[in-house]
C-alpha cells in the first residue's frame, strides 16, 4: 500500500478498500458502492450520514463546528461521526449497517420484487372515480335518511323580551 492510500474496512471486517489519504469518508464509501443516506447533500444539517467508527478514530480529521453543532461533543461515548464532514487520514473501520437497511437499492429491489404496488395512471384515475361515485351514493343515502328522520334541526328562533312589558 502506498503512503498516499489509506484503508477503509467495513465492519465487521468483511470488506475493505483503499482510498486517497484525505478523502471525504462519505464520498469514499459512495464511490466504492456503499449506500450512505443523506438528505442535505453533505452540508452538515440532516445527520442522516452518521457512521459508527469501530477502529482508527485517531486517523480521522478532527470534528469541526458544523459537526459538533449537530452531534454535540460526545464522540467518546457514541463513536458517531458525520461521514460528510470527516476526512480519512489513516486506516479506519466503520460500521455502516444502519445505511444498508434503508438503502435506495433495497427499496428498488422491493419495487422490483412486487412488494410495492405500482399502478398505471389510468387505473388510479378509474379507482378515484369509483371512490367518488361510491362516496356520493353514500352521502345521498345518508341525506335521504336524515330527511325521513327529520334531521337537520332548524335553530329555534329566540325573542328578546322588552323589560317594560
Give 158's contacts (C-beta < 8 A, 6+ positions apart). none
Q: What's 79's DSSP letter?
A: -
Helix (H) or strand (E) holding 88: strand 87-88
Alpha helices in 17-103 (DSSP H): 25-31, 65-71, 75-78, 97-101
Residue 40 touches ligand FES, criterion: CB under 6 A: yes
User: Considering only residues 44, 51, 53, 88, which one is a binding residue for ligand FES as defined by CB under 6 A?
Assistant: 44
Residue range at the interface with ligand FES (CB under 6 A); choices 38-46, 87-95, 98-106, 131-139: 38-46
User: Considering only residues 19, 29, 51, 82, which one is a binding residue for ligand FES as defined by CB under 6 A?
Assistant: 82
- Nearest residue to ligand FES by CB is 84
Map grid coordinates 445527520 to a residue.
47
User: Considering only residues 23, 49, 92, 96, which one is a binding residue for ligand FES as defined by CB under 6 A?
Assistant: 49
Q: What's 57's DSSP letter?
A: G
Residue 84 touches ligand FES, criterion: CB under 6 A: yes
Rounded to the nearest whole angstrom, what is the least distance from the CB of residue 35 to ligand FES in the complex? 13
Strand partners, 80: 52
Q: What's 9's DSSP letter?
A: E
Q: Give whichever of 42 and 75 is closer to ligand FES, judged by the CB atom.
A: 42
**Contact positions vs ligand FES (CB under 6 A):** 38-40, 42, 44-49, 82, 84
Amino acid at each position: 500500500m502506498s503512503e498516499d492510500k489509506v484503508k477503509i474496512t467495513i465492519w465487521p471486517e468483511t470488506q475493505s478498500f483503499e482510498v486517497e489519504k484525505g478523502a471525504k469518508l462519505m464520498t469514499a464509501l459512495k464511490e466504492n458502492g456503499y449506500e450512505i443516506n443523506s438528505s442535505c447533500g453533505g452540508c452538515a444539517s440532516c445527520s442522516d450520514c452518521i457512521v459508527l467508527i469501530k477502529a482508527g478514530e485517531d486517523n480521522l480529521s478532527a470534528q469541526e463546528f458544523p459537526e459538533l453543532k449537530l452531534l454535540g461533543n460526545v464522540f467518546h461515548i457514541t463513536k458517531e461521526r458525520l461521514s460528510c464532514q470527516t476526512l480519512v487520514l489513516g486506516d479506519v473501520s466503520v460500521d455502516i449497517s444502519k445505511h444498508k437497511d434503508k438503502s435506495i437499492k433495497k427499496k428498488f429491489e422491493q419495487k422490483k420484487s412486487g412488494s410495492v404496488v405500482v399502478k398505471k395512471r389510468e387505473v388510479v384515475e378509474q379507482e378515484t372515480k369509483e371512490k367518488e361515485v361510491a362516496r356520493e351514493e353514500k352521502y345521498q343515502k345518508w341525506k335521504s335518511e336524515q330527511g325521513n328522520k327529520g334531521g337537520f334541526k332548524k335553530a329555534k328562533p329566540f325573542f328578546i323580551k322588552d323589560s317594560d312589558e
